[in-house]
Amino acid sequence: MKISNYFSESQVLRDVEISITHYANSFIKGTCCFVLNEGFLTQANKNPCITAVITNKKLAPQVDKNKGLIISESPQKDYYLLHNFMYKNNFFIPQESYLGSNCEIASTAIIGDNVHIGDNVHIGEHVIITSNSYIGNNSYIDSRAIIGARGLHNSVVNKESIFVHDAGGVRIGDNCEILAGAIIQKSYHYEQTVIANHVKIGPQVNIGHGSTIGSYTLVAGSAQVAGYVTIGEEVWVGPSCSIAHNISIGDRANLKIGSIVVNNIQADESVSGNFAYNHIKRIRNFVQLKQ
Please list, in sequence order, all residues whose beta carbon lies within 8 angstroms of the beta carbon of residue 43, skipping any fewer than 6 positions away: 24, 25
Residues in the chain: 291
DSSP state of 2: B
CB-neighbour burial class of residue 132 (10 A; exposed 0-12, middle 13-18, buried 19+): buried
CB-neighbour burial class of residue 277 (10 A; exposed 0-12, middle 13-18, buried 19+): middle
Q: What is the dihedral of CA 254, 259, 263, 264, to 10 degrees?
A: 20
Q: Is 209 a catalytic residue?
A: yes
Element (H, E) at 218: strand 218-219
Q: 83, 198, 209, 245: which is the annotated catalytic residue?
A: 209
For the annotated catalytic residues, the residue numbers are 209
